[in-house]
Amino acid sequence: MKGKHRAQFRPAALPTRLYGDVVESDNGRAQHRTIIVVDVEKFTHGSRTNADQLVVRAVLYRSLRRAFGESGIPWDSCHREDRGDGVFVLVPPEVPKTLVVERLPGALARALAEHGEVAGRAGERVRVRMAVHAGEVHPDRHGFTSASINLAFRLVDAPQLKSALARSPGVLALVLSSWCYDEVAWHSRVVDPRTFRRVDVVVKDTAATAWIARPDHPYPPARAGRPAWRGRAAVVLASLIALSTTAAADRPGARGDTVTGLGDAFPGDREFLAHVVNLATGKCLARNGAYTHPDDSEKDGEDIYQWECADSHNPGHFVVLAPVAGGDWEIRSSVRADLCLAADDEPETDQHFRACRPGDDRQRWGVRRIRGRAPDAVVVENRGAGGCLAHQGGRPDVHIQVFRRDCRPFGQDEVGWSIRPYAMPGRRSCGEPWRGPVRNNGTGRRLADGTGTASTAPAVSIVAVDESAHGCRVSISGTPGTWVLESLTGEDWVRVHAARDLSACLAAVDGGVAARRCDGSRSQQWELG
């Protein structure tokens, strides 16, 4: 406008009452940072004392400082926020992201492993999940916020990442955002992108693609995933190829070999306890009953669900696979051996556990490999009714009902599963008697069998009775009944399940011990030795 100064555009003033903490300065502008979130596995587990947690935190910070230094990342220049059971870190913009992806995970794993070799107690050992992302972050006087930070926290809580660490003998499981994999890992000459595994993460209201690796116990190299930016034509071509191959390879009966063994851990000739994990959600096929009913009962004919596989204190998060004639399997309740997963009359509806009926094809399930997928990827196909087990979709942060549908896998692997045998009693196998003190974590009192003297600590004998899918059934001197020991953190902490009903656990009560509904309380945790 001639003769007048052009007014500069300014946003409307923010109400001080609501927005007085917003910093409008050069320091408050968005910055592109590398985002790291580290979370300790089972930090709040009941077997960890306050003293254990203090040691774990000290080890975590000492290991992080050392790993950052070895990787060439200035620890003191990073923005850091303590999260109790973990740490949130923003790396300065000028630090190359290659240092974070290529050097930091291995350095941190080495530092934690060295501590684990000298840790005096199982509760002092440290294993972590680590998420790495990069994006715009917005500072204010309280810290930082952004959608990129939110995504990093969702990734570190991904069920697939928890499962990757739980199955690893190492100390670290790493997840990269799709951006970090495409822009850094894919081009690296230090890390092998073929050792990463693509996952579709759904946590709360966030859905994202990510890539998981185990730096100190890597997956075997596979065909590397192509970056998302390779172009629409490549995506279309890949989709056409996938459709053409799955159309032939994924029809029932043409899917791949019938599974009689997936490695030495998958027996083909005896029943075994297993996590049956959905490849789309990372959650486990679970029985009904006990943990949904106040009377701890199993109900015939109720829905089956998927739950977080990491909740090992809940025996309902497993199922028992029992072989039947012809290479097929029964899928039984993990608590009641007389309830079997049965196909209902209508597909696309919820499936249920029913009273086991020998010879009923609706309770027979064929397990077949999915060609072109990970070696342990399978479909679970019903012999009597046809169709395969699949997840319903929807929100994976609540229980997900399971139903049958056409067996051909789709993009999210709704019908894809991984069968992972689970050993309940840990290192104490049948045939290995044991005698010593057994101390309760809640009260500090010890079990006694009446044979000790006043000058010695109470001791009990644990003797094998027979084997079951859940592990070795044992007798405990001075405690009537037969029991199954479930290993907790380390080798010496156990939860003691009643063999007749695994939803009941031995608990310290006023005046002695009794079988109570299993939970996560310290009164149901026992230290051997």
The per-residue pLDDT for range 30-41, each reduced to its tens digit, is 889 999 999 999
Instruction: Indicate whether 312 and 394 sit together in one domain.
Output: yes
Asked if the model's pLDDT at residue 93 lies above 70, the reply is yes
**In whole angstroms, what is the distance from residue 411 CA to residue 246 CA?**
11
Please, are residues 511 and 496 in contact by the beta-carbon 8 Å criterion?
A: no
Long-range residue pairs from 217-225, CB within 8 A, at least 24 positions apart, any chain: 217/168, 217/169, 217/170, 218/192, 219/195, 220/195, 221/192, 221/194, 221/195, 222/194, 222/195, 222/197, 222/374, 223/194, 224/186, 224/193, 224/194, 224/196, 225/181, 225/193, 225/196, 225/198
Among all chains, which residue has been given the structure tokens 């092998």? 192
Q: Note whether 313 and 520 are within 8 A (CB).
A: yes
Give one DSSP letter per residue of 410-436, joined into a string. -TT-TT-EEEEE--SSTT--TT--EEE
Q: Provide, rounded to the nearest whole percent, the portion of the chain with pLDDT above 70.
A: 66
**pLDDT category, 169, cuts 50, 70, 90?**
confident
Q: Return the percentage of the chain with pLDDT > 90, whole number.
A: 24
What is the CATH number for 96? 3.30.70.1230
User: DSSP string covering 379-398, please?
Assistant: EEEETTT--EEEE--S-TTS
Regarding pTM above 0.75, the answer is no
In which domain, by residue range, is 321 found?
Answer: 247-421
Does residue 219 sit in the same domain as residue 264? no
Task: Give the domain-ending residue among 421, 451, 466.
Answer: 421
Q: Which of 242, 264, 271, 265 is nearest to 370 (CA)?
A: 242
| Domain-embedded: residue 59 | yes
Query: Does the pLDDT value for residue 129 go beyond 90?
Result: yes
The verdict on 448 and 395 lying in the same domain is no
What is the rounded distance in angstroms from the CA atom of residue 207 to the CA atom of residue 518? 33
342 and 450 share a domain? no
98 and 171 belong to one structural domain: yes
| SS3 call for 525 | coil
Q: What is the pLDDT of residue 80?
A: 95
Confidence at 364, pLDDT banded by 50, 70, 90: very high
415 and 438: one domain? no
Residue 247: pLDDT above 80? no
The DSSP secondary-structure symbol of 204 reads T
Mean pLDDT across the stretch 425-450?
A: 74
Report the number of distinct structural domains present in the chain.
3
Mean pLDDT for the chain overall: 74
Cβ neighbours of 283 (radius 10 Å): 26
pLDDT per residue over 383-437, tens digit each? 888 888 877 654 444 444 566 667 765 444 577 888 877 654 333 456 668 888 8
Residue 457 sits in the same domain as residue 381: no
What's the pLDDT score for residue 65? 95
Q: Residues 402, 264: one domain?
A: yes
Q: Does 72 fall in a domain? A: yes
Q: Does residue 48 share a domain with residue 115?
A: yes
pLDDT at 315: 53
pLDDT for residue 183: 92
CATH number (domain holding residue 255): 2.80.10.50
440 and 416, same domain (yes or no): no
> Is pLDDT of 240 > 50?
no
CA distance 309 to 411: 22
* 100-127 pLDDT tens trace: 999 999 999 999 988 877 766 767 788 9
367, 329 in Cβ contact below 8 A?
yes
Tell me: pLDDT of 88 over 60.
Answer: yes
d(CA 202, CA 223): 24
Is residue 235 assigned to a domain? no
Q: Judge whether 10 lies within some domain.
A: no
360, 389, 421 - which closes a domain: 421
Is 242 a member of any domain? no
pLDDT at 14 exceeding the cut of 90 = no
Residue 223 pLDDT class (50, 70, 90 cuts): low
Residue 21 lies in a domain: no
For residue 28, pLDDT beyond 80 = no
In a domain, 95, yes or no: yes
Are 49 and 123 a contacting pair, CB within 8 Å? yes
pLDDT of res. 147 = 92
Average pLDDT, stretch 20-38? 71
- At 510, list the tokens: 């006023």
Q: Which residues pair with 308 in a beta bridge?
A: 283
Q: State whether 253 and 306 are in the same domain.
A: yes
Q: Is 452 found in the same domain as 412? A: no
Categorize the per-residue pLDDT at 506 as very low, low, confident or very high, splitting at 50, 70 and 90. very high
Domain finish residue from 393, 421, 449 = 421
The torsion angles phi and psi of 188, rounded to 5 degrees, stand at -75, 145
Max alpha carbon distance in the chain (Å)?
106
Structure tokens at 287: 């029985």
Q: Identify which of 23-37, 236-250, 329-343 has the greatest average pLDDT.
A: 329-343
Q: Which residue has the higher pLDDT, 504 or 476?
A: 476
H helix or E strand, kind and range, residue 147? helix 147-156
CA gap 482, 474 in Å, rounded: 6
Which of 133-147, 302-316, 424-438, 441-455 is predicted with the least confidence, judged by mean pLDDT?
302-316
Q: Can you give the C-alpha Rg of the chain in angstroms? A: 26
Domain presence at residue 353 = yes
Q: Worst-scoring range by mean pLDDT, 180-184, 216-220, 284-288, 413-417?
A: 284-288
CA angle 109, 112, 116 (to 5 degrees): 130
pLDDT: is 365 or 261 the higher one? 365
